[in-house]
Amino acid sequence: MDSGLPGARQPNHEPRLQRFFQFVEDKSQPGICADESKTAVFLPETDLQEYFADDDQLLGILKLIFENPTTLPIRLRSIRSRYTKVFAILLCVDRGDYIPHFEHYDSLSDEKLPFDQPPDHFPSEITAPSFFKDFQERQWRFCAPRLNFGRSKFWQPARVLPITSKEPLGTGGSATTFKIVVHPEYNELDANRNNKEVKYSEFFQELYVRVTS
């Protein structure tokens, strides 16, 4: 049931929340995505984890959102272990006070991101109009995938890949090949190679990573 869910106005004017939003902007890195209408940036996961690892930062934000309660409705450890990205996204859509609700369900945890459609137990549109749309639009900054030598992968057009630069090398048929640089935190393309430059091909609007000789 969605009854009893929060809905108070998030105090975004408070300096502590302003600092968080500024941190998100300052630490975000350029990426690429197939949807050219979107701003392709991503926030490295380690930066977010380090920010919320500071008790003063995380506790201070929670006290603001829940108006200095004697007992917080969620443990810091719970956010840090499974809901770091989710909490950041909730803050960015002015719904930080929903984090206790999200914590109750595995279907709403970081490991289930990104959400293509409302997962089980996501607050209903009746309770929170436009909530899912706003969440889905903001989630991409926090959901860059790690790139590895798995089978061919297809990502949503809005999925931001952690490719920080690309240089065209040539065109053949319907594909253009680029030399790219992958953010080191997400580069699992070759654990034995120090060179972080690999190649990828852009085929129409579907992006996939491959190594070329």
Say if residue 44 is in the same domain as residue 121: yes
37 has pLDDT over 50: yes
Which structure tokens are listed for 212?
């070329």
Say if residue 84 is in the same domain as residue 133: yes
Sequence-ordered alpha helix ranges (H) in 28-145: 45-53, 55-65, 76-82, 84-92, 99-103, 131-139
Domain range enclosing 169:
147-209
48 has pLDDT over 70: yes
Is the CB of residue 28 less than 8 Å from the CB of residue 41? yes
Is the CB of residue 86 less than 8 Å from the CB of residue 109? yes
150 has pLDDT over 70: no
This prediction has a pTM of: 0.85
Domain count, the chain: 2
Say if residue 33 is in the same domain as residue 65: yes
pLDDT tens for 112-135 read: 999 999 999 999 888 788 999 999
